[in-house]
Each structure stands twice: as structure tokens, then as C-alpha cells.
Structure 1
Amino acid sequence: MKTRTAIITITAIASAALLHAEPTMQPNAESQKTLTPDSVLAELVAGNEAYVAGKTADPNVKARRDAAVAGQFPKAYILSCVDSRVPVEQVFNQGIGDLFVGRVAGNIETTEQLGSMEFAAVVGGVKVIMVVGHDACGAVKGACDHVKMGNLTELLAQIEPAMEKVEGHAGDRSSKNTEFVNEVIEKNAALTVEDIRKRSETLANLEKEGKIKIVGGVYSLATGKVTMLP
């Protein structure tokens, strides 16, 4: 019931925020102090809704760039795939200084990514860490086909646990089976969220204290919508 209530609350806040699709003013220390994990998540959801609806507004890039020289006060860390079709800041209608963005094929939590997240949360002050997978992910397809190619081989091996968690599809568990691939994509994002908590005591404790939220979602290339995972 608490989860359902939280989702309803976030949705309500996001709907209200959608009426003001333009990104917030240049982040600063004072504005960052007023943020909560729920308010940031709601803003990201609303920003994505604005992106889907084509109602995004470009912030004053020069003013933001100039102001950002003095320091950064971001609200979230987004871990996404390297796919060029997923422009993270645009997807969430955010501007310069709003987000830390970490990218790696298959949006997996490498040691380097975990260290970056810890920096973002402890030093940078972010309130949300979000893992964003996407449909038609080449890394996931490669893992499903057991591709072996240089350093990519080790990376794809880290997606195999998600494949093993997906049941069924006995006839075809390869990239040719779109339904199977999509299930692996969703499971991979969910497992990455779980692994962040397991592998980073720092982040897990911050979440337990209510200082951050660690969440996951899957981006649709066709619609632009990020569907949040339960």
C-alpha cells in the first residue's frame, strides 16, 4: 500500500509539474537544499512527459553555462546505455548543471560507475540515482547471442544474470526473439538497481536514511517515454 501511495503521490506531483515544462532555473546551493528524493523523481517524470509531448523548452544555454562555472548542484545521477538514440538530458527535459550522467553499454554498474554515483550522492548532493535501459539495446542483444569481441566480451557477460532470470522462451532465447530481448532489458535494469544497493554500502545506507532513491526505468525509442520499474 505504501508503494502504491508513493506512486500516486509522485504521479500527482509530476502532472502538476508538467504544466511548467521549462527546466528550472540554474541550480544553486539554496535550491538544491529544498529538493527531496520524491520531488526530484517527480520532476524527472514530468520532464519526460514533457519530452514525450514535445513540450520541452530549451533553457538559456549561455546563462546556464556561465553560471555553472562557479560550481555544480545537480539533482540526479542517471546511469544509461551509450546508445546515441537516448539523449539523457533531453529525455528528462533537463539543462546544464541538472544531472550527472554515467554511460556504459548495457547500463551496468561497473566499479567506476559506483564510485561516480557515490561521489554524486555524497559530494554532489543528488537525491535520485536512476538506471535507464532502453528497448532494442545492442548490448543486450549481443549478450543474448553470446557475442565474443575483444573487451566487449567481459562487459556482455555482466548481462547474462538478467538472461538467466528470464523464464520461458525455450524455443528461441536469442536476439531474434524481440519479446525475450525486451524482458532481458527490463530485468537487466532491475538487477542493476539491486546490485547498486548490494555493491555500495554508502548508497544503500543513504537510501535507508531517506536521503536518496535508487530507481530504474526503460526508455522507448519509438515514444520517448521512460516507464518506471516497480
Structure 2
Amino acid sequence: MTTALEALARLREGNRRFVEGRGGSHLNLNESRRSELVAGQKPFAIILGCSDSRVPAELVFDQGLGDLFVIRIAGNIVAPSQIGSVEFAAEQFGTPLVVVLGHSRCGAIAATIDAVMHPAASTSRHIHSIVERIRPSVAPLVATELRHDHDALVGHAVRANVRASANHLRHGSEILEQMLLDGRLMIVGAEYSLETGVVEFFDGVPEAP
């Protein structure tokens, strides 16, 4: 059985292949692989990422059919349906690793910053519901000197939002919290760089011995 640290190493190696332009060369995407998966799946990692078209988890981690259980939503926010999806994969498949994956220049983050700085601006109630979940991570940063540097503000807000989503998963579910306590699950936060293609894991990652 794959451990969380082994799963993390596998993601890092896959991202390295992607960045170096070697992605896809080892993947088995033919009919025999599809047939293998008809009876069931055993994904080694759960990825809660943003819906942004530039950040497809399977590609940036260079993984194939049946490898990743991917949940995508604008701003990689955590709502009850996302928690339920993570619980399902962790319980049903024994998947040991959850990665909350944000990315640079996130549009949902920028929209939230704009809503905090210009509260009179109108938006649809559905977009508003996403903004409101991101707002607690963004509002304190807008109150600092970062408000004078938009790019730096977005960069800090992306990571603050990832940390908030990861903590929400860690403490917003009795099932996940118990799995964490039992050592059966690890939840980490990461950021994908649109500029370089590199995924940096920065939250909840054990220090190397």
C-alpha cells in the first residue's frame, strides 16, 4: 500500500517530468489500462485544485488513468461537497494523501481582492458565494501595505487561501480528522506556478530528516 510520503514523492517526480518536458512518455493510456479500471480504482492521491484551465492536475503531475482523484472548483475552496468528496476517496479507496493545489495569478483570488477593495461592485450571487469563502484569507492582507502592490498581494493571498482550505479539511470533518490522528492521511498545501510549471509544496509537509 502506498504511504502518504511515497505518494508525495510520486507527485514531485511527476511534476519534475512535466517541467522538463518528459511528461506522458511512461503513461499507459490504452484499452488494456481502461479495462483494468472498470472493476475499480485505487488513486494514490486526492487533489483539490482550482478549475483554471491552465492547471490540469493529471498533466502537471504527469499521472494517468486511475492515479489521481481530482476535485476542481474555482479558487480551490472547501465547501461541504468538497469535504464529502475527499471523505469518500479517503475512506473508500484508502488514498493516503490530499493536496490542496492553488496557483499563481488565480482569477478567483483577484476577484475576491477586488470585492474587498471595492465592496460596491456587483456580481452574481453564485460568484459571490465563492468570493465569500475566500474573503477571510484575503481581507487581512488587503489591510496591510500589500494593498499597494497588486501582484504581491495576489501571491500572498493565493498561499493564505491554500492554507485556509487545507486547515478546513483538517478540522472540518470528523472522518478526516480521525484519519489524520491515526496516521492514515496527510493533507498538504501546494502552489503551481503558471510561469515555470513547478509545483511547490509549502504547507503541512514534514521536514526532511
- TM-score, normalised via structure 2 length: 0.88
1:227 aligns to 2:172 (yes or no): no
Contact 2:15 2:61 in 1 (8 A): yes
For 1:59, the equivalent position in structure 2 comes to 27
**Pairwise CA distance, 1:168:** 2.0
Q: In 2, distance between residues paired with 1:120 and 1:137? A: 26
Q: In 2, distance between residues paired with 1:225 and 1:58? A: 20
Task: Say if 1:171 and 1:50 are closer, same or farther in 2 by CA, change over 3 A.
Answer: closer
For 1:35, the equivalent position in structure 2 comes to 2
Structure 1: any 5+ residue segments left out of the alignment?
A: 1-33
For 1:111, the equivalent position in structure 2 comes to 80
- The correspondence of residues 176-215 of structure 1 with structure 2, limited to 5 A, is 177-215=150-188
| SS of the residue 2:124 aligns to | coil
Moved over 3 A (4+): none
Contact 1:80 1:103 in 2 (8 A): yes
**Pairwise CA distance, 1:170:** 5.9
Report sequence identity in percent: 38
Q: In 1, distance between residues paired with 2:172 and 2:146? A: 32
Task: After superposition, give the CA deviation of every residue in 1:98-136 in whole Å (9 maximum; x if it has no partner).
Answer: 011001100011100100100000112111010000011
User: Matched residue pairs, number?
Assistant: 194
Q: In 2, distance between residues paired with 1:195 and 1:185? A: 15
Q: In 2, distance between residues paired with 1:60 and 1:94? A: 10
Task: Say if 1:67 and 1:109 are closer, same or farther in 2 by CA, change over 3 A.
Answer: same
Task: Say if 1:53 and 1:169 are closer, same or farther in 2 by CA, change over 3 A.
Answer: same
Contact 2:7 2:44 in 1 (8 A): yes
The match for 1:130 among 99, 121, 124 is 99
- TM-score, normalised via structure 1 length: 0.80
| SS of the residue 2:160 aligns to | helix
1:169 aligns to 2:145 (yes or no): yes
Q: In 2, distance between residues paired with 1:165 and 1:46? A: 35
- The correspondence of residues 47-86 of structure 1 with structure 2, limited to 5 A, is 47-56=14-23, 57-62=25-30, 63-86=32-55
Answer with 205-214 or 160-169: which moved more.
Answer: 160-169
Q: In 2, distance between residues paired with 1:124 and 1:133? A: 24
